[in-house]
Amino acid sequence: MPIRVENGLPAREVLESENIFMMGENRAATQRVRPLNIIILNLMPVKQDYETQLLRALSNTPIQVNVTYLNVSGHESKNTPASHINKFYVTFDQVQDEFYDGMIITGAPVENLPFEEVTYWEELCWIMEWTKTHVTSTFHICWGALAGIWYHYNIEKVALPEKLSGIYVHRVLDRCEPLVRSFDDLFYAPHSRYSGVREEDVLAHSQLQLLAVSEEAGVYLVKSRDGKQVFLFGHPEYDRMSLDSEYKRDVAKGIEIAPPVRYYENDDPSCTPLLTWRCHANMLYTNWLNFYVYQVTPYSWKSRQLEG
């Protein structure tokens, strides 16, 4: 996909080295197309790294995409320079009157806190409510999925006995759904979390569809029946070394934790991790952009307002 990348964004140099098809601001302005406008609420601690991971995952469709990065005002990042946020991010008050074809709400390292104790919870609730009228489809990832499925459908998060970390096998439950089109019956994906949701709670809700699960990791992929909300409880957008960085960070903090399962070759943390989930990640994000954003979003949001 020709991702429209702002000049100077650190992710650009990384993606260019990987031969990812990107488009600079000047070239994008010359194309007579209606690009998709995607806004990403990036709640991850090291924002530059996660920007690269998401752009890589969104890079496999011919649709031109403009990306806007959103930052919550109720939280000051300790791991991302203020200069980066000031240059590349907007706040909600700057965009609340705008309309977007798609939105991504990322994970965040706050799983062990009750939602109401998260410093930016109130602002996040405003944003999630705003998506109902200003975004065609919203894609929630990991903690973002826990928060979103609680806010929209009152599905409670459940603490796990220990951190779920590693590469897990998943099974597709409904092959007729476009979101899982071209998936294998069984596929791998990374998880990194302390909480989840009960499968029975999802199945009991008439407005939700459970699309993929893991015997070990539990609920993986859920969508609302109207396609406006998608909940992903794993991290297929993670790169090869993401779980390795998290594991070694936890070890350095003195946390007793097992190495990510099914991740290192021969289960040896000194070995380079095996990359076994990239094809699935590419297909998942491509399907979302194509079937739940591009195929259903209006050409002009102004026309939708007039029709409404």
Active-site residue numbers?
142, 235, 237
CB atoms within 10 A of CB 245: 13
Give the residue among 157, 88, 85, 87 at the shortest CA–CA distance from 118: 157
Residue 13: phi and psi, rounded to 5, are -65, -40
Give the residue among 201, 71, 87, 101 at the shortest CA–CA distance from 146: 201
d(CA 34, CA 18): 26
Give the residue among 108, 107, 90 at the shortest CA–CA distance from 37: 90
d(CA 203, CA 200): 5
Question: Which contacts (CB < 8 Å, 24+ apart) does range 149-155 have?
Answer: 149/197, 149/202, 149/208, 149/222, 149/229, 149/231, 150/115, 151/125, 152/128, 152/224, 152/229, 153/205, 153/207, 153/208, 153/224, 155/197, 155/198, 155/201, 155/202, 155/205, 155/208
Q: β-strands 36-41, 65-70: how paired?
A: parallel
Give the type of residue at 298. Answer: P
Token reading at 277: 């989930």
d(CA 215, CA 169): 8
CA dihedral (244, 282, 12, 110) positive or negative: negative
- 140 - beta bridge partners? 105, 231
